[in-house]
A and B are shown apart, each in its own frame.
Chain A
Amino acid sequence: MIKKFNLQDFLMSYGFTIIFALVLIFFALGTENFLTINNILTVLANAAPWLVMATGLALVIMTGSIDISIGSILFLALALGNSLMLYRGLPVAIGIPLVFLIGALLGSLNGLLIVVVGINPLITTMGMMFALRGLALWLTSGLVQNIPPALQQFGRIGLFKEFIILTAAVILVLVHLLVTRTTFGRHVMAIGNNAEVAARLGVRVKRVRFLTYVMSGLMVCVGGTLQIMQISNVHPRLGQGYEFTAIAAAVVGGISLFGGEGSIIPGLVMGGLTLVIVENGLTHLGVSPYVYPFVRGGIIFLAMYADAMKSRVMARVHVTKDEELTTASA
């Protein structure tokens, strides 16, 4: 018997959209200048790179695993690529794809250690987080690097914000399609549901998991490049804490850390936008910036709590109550 519309299920699946809407309404009503075109564009352009960066990590989380090294992967890839472009005259047209490639390679290193060798994902990516950052810092001697003039100029063209938003939107749609309409994407979800059952059903678990780590490294560099064009330099704190922002966006957007749940669109997008809007809105309200960490931490906490509650409810045995269990005939 298929269950008809169930309030609980609806809330669990779309709660984050509701939250997003509430947050939006709250700030739109409560502040001036919030809903202006300019502000909206700023917010979106701000959020766009973050969303792109988080897509790869979202895939990892959907399989039920974790990666906290993406910030450092970005930093190292950018540091390397940028150095080559600045000091060795590597043309930007090769430099940018090279950055992406390095990101993918570093991601595959994670994949190797975690999936092939079988080391704990949390600690492995933690170790990588520090090791890669240290390497990048050593390479740049802890100094700030400018990005090549060509890129800088690109960042100053008119309609730059629109460009960023559009590019990000295209990428997000593509990743969304990857998750929902390709075999790979369905396998990602399958593994997050139950890796053993998935394996029994013919899913190549190790291979898929390995690829999610590659994607994680790759996408953080794609998104990071979008962001670097806005910032114009590679600085020692680049990437610091990015993984946690990405995880926050995922969790708030309904992507469960237990795996097997969630979506890019609307999930990750809503989650990321909620976070950005909250901070943007708080600025408009004139709230002290010191409050942001509280708010963000609080939001993550609530989202995690909801996630934990969800997984407990779902785990209960499904027994329809309108029929009794068969008994020995009376």
Chain B
Amino acid sequence: MSAVGLRMVNIQKSFPGIQALKGVDLEAYAGEALAVIGANGAGKSTLMNVLGGVLRPDSGEIYIHDEPAEIHSPLDAARYGIAFVHQEMAMLPTLTIAENMFISTFPTQAGLIDYRTTNEQSAQALARLGCDFPPGTRVSHLSPGDRQIVEIARGLLIHPKIIIFDEPTSSLTRREKARLFDVIAGLKTEGVTVIYITHFLDEVFSVCERAYVLRNGETVGGGMIKDLTYQGIVQMMIGAKEVTSYFGQKADQAGELALKVEGLTRSGVLQDIGFELHKGEVLGLWGLLGSGRTELLRAIIGLDPIDNGKIMVRDHGNLKPIQPKDAMNWIGMLTENRRDEGLLLPMSVKSNISLANLRGLVTNFWPLVNAGLETTLAEKFVNRLAIKTSGLNQPVATLSGGNQQKVVVGRWLERNPTIFFMDEPMRGLDVGAKAEIRTIITELAQSGTAVLVVSSEIEEIMSVSNRYLVMHRGRITGELPGTADKDELVAAAAGNR
């Protein structure tokens, strides 16, 4: 029976306005890999940041090999033998592998760096992982998978007892993934406790012995992998609550074709995407994190480049092919991070709403925005969308999340787009705001707009969609009718296993 390498007891952590961890318990065994699974916002990162010393918990204890551990900083974590391989790799591209590994611990001789020793030790560390990269290679020449090996090698320098992998396979090729799994297997035989954070379930089943599922800051389930099923895990991830039926009937409302995409490919991210979107329907783009849904939307409207593909929109009765950079003439876009890419925070509600339509507000010869028209426009949407604000001039930064979201919606509505993309429109909103957005989406569809909604929350997407498209790893893997029930959706998201 292996020893308990790590035990976290009743870890709680809250931030202003939100309780990220509500008392999480976790046990990981030496020589085994523990999967920590959960959707975005479930608390995985917070938990790992506590373990890594980046955050201090409000309460709770940590035991490493049954010894209590006080981890107040990343340095402490390192001292306790905890190594962290982050998702965004901590690499310095123009420096060499060896330099990256020893950047703060260079062996020196008379003030100068002893490169021979540095390179030797790097080579040894890499060799432990079965790699023979020359230590003098610039990191910028390495693929993400190779960089990851270097990062792991760096982590292993401290001879860790515990090693945490945060979403390690997002940018790996198949070969590199296999190599990673070999490395993990090797670590396990050396008695290291491996913690594996991911949302790719197939990996969980091939790499880990145990799993814990987090949701909303709590452990909702877990156990030995051999006792779990895909469906079971996905169910735990997205919540087993019964979906209440406050969304209306979803008869397939297939109006005429508004958008048609064929063969959309972006190397490494999207593969041969093709689908149709009809007027008056709400198409739910469904899938787990990392399936490429956001990337798809961004590629279509030209925010990201594409390598191949055809996009056609209905314009004056005919389907015509368009360039992504012109897509915004027909497609409205609600991005998933309204604060970074949606809103101009210091500007007023009125200015934010009118931003996409300024040309239309110019009435006469002068290029001046007609203040009256602008106010009317803003008022129209404040009323129609029930945006709660103390006044049209209120800076948008001080609105609540739901109202902020409505401002962005209002901005696009004025342009009367035939197509509307919404990426996680209800994320971060409270129950009431979600309902309002939901209503807006349904009304939009009813008025003839073609709506495509991306969501990772099953209730959200079920509450608005007439039809579903399922994505997995950059591909469309299935299509489901609006009448599909939760289990079918769950199964589809899990990759139909």
Contacts and interface: CB of A to CB of B under 8 A. Distances in A.
Partners in one complex: yes
Contacts of A200: 74, 90
Interface stretch (A67-75, A185-193, A285-293): A185-193
Nearest to B267: A319
- The B interface, classified by DSSP as helix, strand, loop or mixed, is loop
Interface in A298-324: 314, 317-321, 323-324
Contact of A201 (B104, B111, B202): B104
Interface in A175-213: 177, 181-183, 186-187, 189-190, 192-194, 197-198, 200-203
B134 to A, nearest CB: 7
B495 interface: yes
Nearest to B170: A325
- The A interface, classified by DSSP as helix, strand, loop or mixed, is loop
B267 A318 contact: no
A193 B94 contact: yes
Contacts of B394: none
A260 interface: yes
Interface string B388-411: 000000000000000000000000
A197 B154 CA distance: 14
A189 B104 contact: no
Interface string A1-28: 1110000010000000000000000000
A326 B74 contact: no
A260 B91 CA distance: 12
Contacts of B267: 319, 321
A203 B74 CA distance: 13
A324 B173 contact: yes
Interface in B54-110: 74, 90-95, 99, 103-106, 108
Nearest to B172: A326
A201 B90 contact: yes
A186 B174 contact: no
Interface in A247-295: 260-261
Nearest to A326: B174
Contacts of A153: none
A141 interface: no
Given A201-B104, A328-B202, A2 B146 contact: yes
A2 B112 contact: no
B74 A189 contact: no
Given A319-B268, A323-B174, A3 B141 contact: yes
Contacts of B173: 320, 323-326
A189 B474 contact: no
Contact of B103 (A182, A201, A326): A201
B95 A2 contact: no
A23 B74 CA distance: 51
A36 interface: no
A3 B295 CA distance: 27
A326 B168 CA distance: 13
Contact of B143 (A190, A192, A318): A318
A328 B288 CA distance: 13
B176 to A, nearest CB: 8
A327 interface: yes
B146 A317 contact: no
Contacts of A181: 112-113, 115
A328 B477 contact: yes
A56 B147 CA distance: 32
Interface in A59-116: none
Interface residues of A, number: 36
Contacts of A324: 173-174
B103 A202 contact: yes
B92 A183 contact: no
B475 A327 contact: yes
A197 B95 CA distance: 13
B92 A318 contact: no
A9 B169 CA distance: 27
Contacts of B473: 325-328
A182 B112 contact: yes
A321 B173 CA distance: 10
Contact of A183 (B93, B113, B474, B495): B113
Contacts of A193: 92-95
Given A2-B142, A197-B90, A319-B268, A328 B495 contact: yes
Contacts of A190: 92, 95, 103
B472 interface: yes
Nearest to A202: B104
B108 A183 contact: yes
Given A2-B133, A319-B171, A321-B267, A197 B92 contact: yes
B274 interface: no
Given A203-B103, A319-B268, A321-B267, A198 B92 contact: yes
A136 B308 CA distance: 62
B97 to A, nearest CB: 10
Interface in B177-199: 177
Nearest to A327: B473
B95 A189 contact: yes
A84 B104 CA distance: 43
Given A203-B103, A203-B104, A318-B144, A327 B474 contact: yes
A312 to B, nearest CB: 12
A309 to B, nearest CB: 16
A190 B93 CA distance: 9
B140 interface: yes
Contacts of B121: none
Nearest to B93: A193
B103 A187 contact: yes
Contacts of B175: 323
A287 to B, nearest CB: 38
Contacts of A3: 141
Interface in B459-497: 472-475, 477, 495-496
Contacts of A201: 90, 92, 103-104
A186 B106 contact: yes
B143 A319 contact: yes
A314 B103 CA distance: 22
Interface of B: 74, 90-95, 99, 103-106, 108, 111-113, 115, 133-134, 137, 140-144, 146, 169, 171-175, 177, 202, 267-269, 271, 472-475, 477, 495-496
8 contacts: A2-B137, A2-B146, A183-B108, A186-B103, A197-B90, A200-B74, A320-B143, A325-B268
Which 3 pairs between the two chains have the least Cβ-Cβ distance?
Answer: A202-B104, A319-B268, A323-B173
Given A202-B104, A260-B92, A329-B202, 12 more contacts: A1-B143, A2-B142, A187-B103, A198-B92, A201-B90, A201-B103, A314-B93, A323-B173, A326-B172, A326-B177, A327-B271, A328-B472
